[in-house]
Amino acid sequence: MEIKKKIENLRTELREHNYNYYVLDNAIISDYEFDMKLKELQALEEKYPEFYDAGSPTLRVGGAITKNFETLVHEHRMYSLDNSYSKEDLEDWEKRIQKILGDAPVEFTCELKYDGASISLTYEDGRLVRGLTRGDGFQGDDVTNNIKTIRSVPLQLKGDYPPKFDIRGEIVLPFEGFAKMNQERIENGEEPYMNPRNTASGSLKLQDSALVAERPLDCLLYSIVGVNLKLESQWQMLGKARDWGFKVPKAAKLCKTTDEVLEFIEYWDKHRHELPYETDGVVIKVNSIQHQEELGYTSKSPRWAMAYKFKAEQVSTILNEITYQVGRTGAITPVANLEPVLLAGTTVKRASLHNADQIEKLDIRVGDTVFVEKGGEIIPKIVGVDFSQRTLDSHPTNYIDHCPECNTQLERTEGDAKHYCPNEYGCPPQITGRIQHYISRKAMDIEGLGGETVELLFKEGLIKNYADLYLLTKEQLIPLERMAEKSAENLVNGVAESVKIPFERVLFALGIRFVGETVAKKLAKAYKNIDALMMASAEELMGVDEIGQRIAESVVLFFKNEINLDIIARLREYGVQFEVSAEKLQNQTDLLKGQTFVVSGVFEKLSRDELKKLIEDNGGKVGSSISSKTSYLVAGDKMGPSKRTKAESLGVSIISETDFIGML
Ligand code: AMP
Ligand code: ZN
**What HEC string does 90-139 produce?**
HHHHHHHHHHHHCCCCCCEEEEEEECCEEEEEEEECCEEEEEEECCCCCE
Ligand 1 atom 5 nearest Cα: 81
Among 113, 148, 240, 418, the active-site one is: 113
Nearest atom (ligand 1) to Cα of 112: 19
Q: Do residue 604 and residue 634 come from a single domain?
A: yes
- Residue nearest (by alpha carbon) to ligand 1 atom 23: 113
Q: Which residue has its alpha carbon closest to ligand 1 atom 3?
A: 81
Residue 142 is assigned to a ligand binding site: no
**At a CB cut-off of 8 Å and minimum separation 6, what does 518 contact?**
546
Say if residue 98 is in the same domain as residue 235. yes
| Residue 646 assigned as binding residue | no
The neighbouring-strand residues paired with 219 are 171
| Ligand 2 midpoint to CA 263 (Å) | 54
Instruction: Classify strands 218-225 and 164-172 as parallel, antiparallel or unpaired.
Output: antiparallel
Contact assessment for residue 58 and residue 40, using Cβ atoms and an 8 Å cutoff: no
Answer yes or no: do 641 and 515 share one domain. Answer: no
Question: pLDDT tens, 614-646?
Answer: 888 788 888 877 888 889 999 988 787 778 888
Report the C-alpha gap between 333 and 351 in whole angstroms: 11
The burial of 361, by beta-carbon neighbours within 10 Å (0-12 exposed, 13-18 middle, 19 or more buried), is given as exposed
Residue 533 burial by Cβ neighbours in a 10 Å radius (0-12, 13-18, 19+): buried
Ligand 1 binding pocket mutation candidate from 114, 120, 204, 285 (most atoms within 8 A of CB): 114
273 DSSP 8-state letter: G
Measured from the CA of 111, which atom of ligand 1 is nearest?
Answer: 19
SS3 466: helix
pLDDT for residue 517: 83
Residues 12, 37 contacting (CB under 8 angstroms): no
Higher pLDDT: 54 or 568? It is 568
Average pLDDT in the 288-307 region?
A: 94
CATH of residue 17's domain is: 1.10.287.610
In this structure, is residue 392 part of a structural domain?
no
- Range with the largest mean pLDDT of 174-183, 357-366, 567-576, 613-622: 567-576
Whether residue 277 is predicted with pLDDT greater than 70 in this model: the reply is: yes
**CATH number for 531:** 1.10.150.20
CB 578 within 8 A of CB 503: yes
Contact 358, 399 (CB under 8 A): no
Query: Do the domain assignments include residue 351?
Result: no
220 Cα nearest atom in ligand 1: 16
3-state secondary structure of 324: strand
Give the chain's mean pLDDT.
Answer: 91
CATH of the domain at 642: 3.40.50.10190
Same domain, 125 and 188: yes
**Where a domain ends, among 309, 337, 372?**
309
Report whether 421 belongs to an annotated binding site: yes
Nearest atom, ligand 1, residue 301 CA: 4
Q: Is the Cα torsion angle 469, 475, 481, 485 positive or negative in sign?
A: positive
Instruction: Of 142-156, 235-249, 339-353, 505-519, give the lowest mean pLDDT range.
Output: 339-353
Q: Is 67 a catalytic residue?
A: no
| DSSP letter string, 13-72 | HHHHHHIIIIISS--SS-HHHHHHHHHHHHHHHHH-GGG--TT-GGGGG---B-SSPPEE
Residue ending a domain, among 585, 608, 643, is 585
Per-residue pLDDT averaged across 648-664, rounded? 87
Q: Name the closest-CA residue to atom 12, ligand 1.
A: 118
| 414 is known to lie in a ligand binding site | no
Within a domain: 191: yes
Mean pLDDT across 104-128: 96
Please tell me the distance between residue 393's alpha carbon and the centre of ligand 1 in angstroms: 47
Residue 410, domain member (yes or no): no
Pair (652, 574) in one structural domain: no
- Please report whether residue 647 resides in a domain: yes
**Same domain, yes or no: 277 and 247:** yes
CB atoms within 10 A of CB 658: 10
What is the per-residue DSSP string for 375-437? SSSSS-EEEEE-GGG--TT--------B-TTT-PBPB--TT-SS-B---TTT-HHHHHHHHHH
Domain co-membership, 176 together with 295: yes
CA 328 to centroid of ligand 2, rounded, Å: 10
Residue 160's pLDDT is what? 93
| Cα(138) to centroid(ligand 1), Å | 15
Residues 191 and 45 in one domain: no
- Backbone φ and ψ for 617, nearest 5 degrees, come out as -65, -25
Same domain for 233 and 131: yes
Determine the distance separating the centroid of ligand 2 and the alpha carbon of 456, expressed in angstroms: 18
Domain of 440, in residue numbers: 428-500
**406 known ligand binder:** yes
301 and 271 in one domain? yes
Residue 615 CA to residue 620 CA, distance in Å, equals 5
151 found inside a domain: yes
Contacts by 515-520, CB closer than 8 A, 24 or more apart: 515/551, 515/554, 515/555, 516/188, 516/189, 516/190, 517/188, 517/442, 518/546, 519/546, 519/547, 519/551
Q: Are residues 104 and 197 in the same domain?
A: yes
Residues in contact with ligand 1 (CB, 6 Å cut-off):
80-81, 111, 113-114, 118, 134, 170, 222, 283, 307
Residue nearest to atom 2 of ligand 1 (CA): 80
Q: Residue 68: which residues within 8 A CB-CB, separation 6 or more?
A: none
Nearby residues of 453 by Cβ (< 8 Å), 6 or more positions away: 491
Q: Would you tell me how many other CB atoms lie within 10 Å of the CB of residue 40?
A: 14
- Ligand lying closest to the C-alpha of residue 431: 2
- Binned at pLDDT 50, 70 and 90, residue 433 comes out as very high
Q: Quote the pLDDT of residue 375.
A: 65
Question: Rounded to the nearest 10 degrees, how much is the dihedral formed by the CA atoms of 227, 230, 233, 238?
Answer: -80
For residue 220, the ligand closest to its alpha carbon is 1
Q: Is 482 left (phi over 0), alpha (psi -120 to 50) or beta?
A: left
Instruction: Please write the tens of the pLDDT for every residue from 367-390.
Output: 999 999 876 566 788 988 999 888
Average pLDDT over residues 272-283: 90
CATH of the domain at 191: 3.30.470.30
Instruction: For a ligand 1 pocket test, name from 74, 220, 283 the mutation site with the most ligand atoms within 8 angstroms of its C-beta.
Output: 283
Best CA proximity match to 528, nearest among 437, 438, 617, 439: 617
Q: Which of 77, 80, 81, 222 to mutate to test the pocket of ligand 1 (most atoms within 8 A of CB)?
A: 81
Smallest CA-to-CA distance from 597 within 612, 609, 608 is with: 612
Residue 393 domain flag? no
Judged against a pLDDT cut of 90, whether residue 608 lies above it is answered with no
pLDDT category at 392 given cuts 50, 70, 90 is confident
User: How many domains does the chain contain in total?
Assistant: 5
Contact 455, 432 (CB under 8 A): yes
pLDDT of residue 347: 86
**Shared domain check, 269 and 182:** yes
Domain assignment present for 147: yes
User: What is the identity of the amino acid at 422?
Assistant: P
> Which residue minimizes the CA distance to atom 16 of ligand 1?
113
pLDDT of residue 71: 92
Average pLDDT for 203-208: 92
Q: 427 labelled as ligand-binding?
A: yes
* Ligand 1 atom, smallest distance to 305 CA: 21
Ligand 1 atom nearest 78 alpha carbon: 10
User: By the 8 A CB rule, do 373 and 380 touch?
Assistant: yes
